[in-house]
Amino acid sequence: MSEFRRPRASAVEIAAWIVAAALLLAVAVPDLLAPHDPLAIAPDQAFLPPGGVHPLGTDESGRDILSRVIFGARDSLLIGLAATAAGLGLGLVLGGLAGGSARRGMAPLRFAADRIIEALFSFPGLLLALLIIAIRGPGVSSVVIAVALGTAPGYARMVRGGIRSAIGSAPVEAARSQGDRALRVWSTLILPEAMRPVVVLVALGIGHAVILSAALGFLGLGSPPPAPEWGSMLNAGRPYLVRAWWLTVFPGACIMLTGLAATVLGRALDRRGGFR
């Protein structure tokens, strides 16, 4: 019976779950966790080092870094989640069309979807995001669209490969030989099989989307200041890196921990077979 037991969570996985839980709390109830107003300025308390009533210090305007980091989790994660959802939706459509039936009526759609996927893959994610923002202008909606387009090809390729692999599998061939309807075969055999690896990729993609949106915020293309968004906070603290290291270290640590937690949890799902 021991061979059927799932592997126990390692200390790293437990730490990743703790980080994920803390991030979700910061998104859900930032007002309860933040000790100060993240936008309240106090010029006489500018550049206070970590300690006392400001555990993570203050910025150039006297705003509490801990409060801004907590509220920044909501903006950064919601942007990452929205971009992941949009990228996944687009990837499912493109991957479904590209991996679907090769019958004569569907061939043009399949060809077009394949070419779109290849075109999107030809651009590096950050370059494609910068191109979209150059067309639409900076802002949260532009970042979501840009990150979604940058991540959609990965989902599309995974879905396309999963569908094409499932279509030729023995269970699908058996179901068709027994006269099962095409809709039933797709809903019970093909799509579930194709979606299993995508679930793991989504977990990894959330961390990637957060990092990419933070990179755009660092370039000044995301949420406008003084919004407490992690990438924008990195950009604002860059001129004071030597004088006040805490302005960049703490939001940068949040970005790093979010990416690491998403990667660890995604790989844990992969080892456990996703949601099988």
DSSP secondary structure letters along 179-209: T--HHHHIIIIIHHHHHHHHHHHHHHHHHHH
Closest CA relative to residue 67, chosen from 91, 85, 86, 45: 45
Exposed e or buried b for every residue in 91-127, given b needs 16+ CB within 10 A?
Answer: bbbbbbbbbbeeeeeeeeebeebbebbeebeebebee
Closest listed residue to residue 124, CA positions, set 100, 151, 98, 160: 151
Residue 152 predicted with pLDDT over 80 = yes
Q: How long, in residues, is the chain?
A: 276
Residue 2 within a domain: no
Q: Is residue 151 part of a domain?
A: yes
Number of structural domains the chain divides into:
1
pLDDT one-digit tens code per residue, 26-52: 999 999 999 999 999 999 999 999 988
Q: Which CATH number covers residue 176? A: 1.10.3720.10
Chain-centroid distance, C-alpha 173:
36
Is 86 inside a domain boundary?
A: yes
14 lies in some domain: no
64 has which bridge partners? 58
Please indicate, yes or no, if residue 7 is contained in any of the structural domains.
Answer: no
pLDDT of 104 strictly over 70:
no
Q: Which domain holds residue 197?
A: 25-38+55-271
Lowest mean pLDDT among 28-37, 67-76, 201-210, 250-259: 201-210
According to the model, what pLDDT value does residue 36 have? 92
Domain assignment present for 133: yes
49-68 pLDDT, tens digit each: 998 899 999 999 999 999 99
Mean pLDDT score across all residues of the chain: 84
Residue 29 lies in a domain: yes
Of the ranges 50-64, 69-83, 110-124, the best mean pLDDT one: 50-64
pLDDT band, residue 2 (cuts 50/70/90):
very low
Given a contact cutoff of 8 angstroms between Cβ atoms, the answer to whether 99 and 162 are in contact is yes
Is 4 inside a domain boundary? no
* Per-residue DSSP letter, 8: P
pTM for the model stands at 0.80
Taking alpha carbons only, the member of 141, 259, 143 closest to residue 251 is: 259
